[in-house]
């Protein structure tokens, strides 16, 4: 069996996108990858985007692991 790569949503340049678009992108990505955990959301160094994504994941009852060095949020269970 071959190793499967984790799905990645890259939001490192999301500060240029409308706030509603970020929320919609994260929701769609989580729903698409519900059965493909773990997966990664790259948030970059922007604390506003990071907090917005974490709040949204919290309301969706998603368990996460935060990697501060890589500026990533890994979703481990939905």
pLDDT band at 3 (very low <50, low <70, confident <90, very high): low
Query: Tens digit of pLDDT for each residue in 5-56?
Result: 789 999 988 877 787 888 999 999 999 988 888 899 999 888 888 989 999 9
Distance CA 55, CA 61 (A): 10
Locate the domains of the chain by residue range. 8-77
**Encoding tokens for residue 47?**
């604390």
Is the pTM higher than 0.75? The answer reads yes
pLDDT at 2: 46
Phi, psi of 3, rounded to the nearest 5 degrees: -75, 130
pLDDT band at 1 (very low <50, low <70, confident <90, very high): very low
CATH number of 8-77: 3.30.1370
């Amino acid at each position: 069996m071959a190793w499967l790569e984790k799905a990645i949503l890259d939001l490192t340049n999301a500060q240029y996108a409308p706030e509603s678009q970020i929320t919609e992108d994260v929701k769609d990505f989580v729903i698409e990858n519900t059965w493909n955990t773990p997966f990664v959301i790259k948030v970059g160094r922007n604390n506003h985007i990071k907090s917005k994504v974490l709040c949204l994941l919290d309301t969706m009852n998603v368990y996460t692991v935060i990697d501060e060095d890589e500026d990533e949020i890994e979703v481990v269970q939905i």
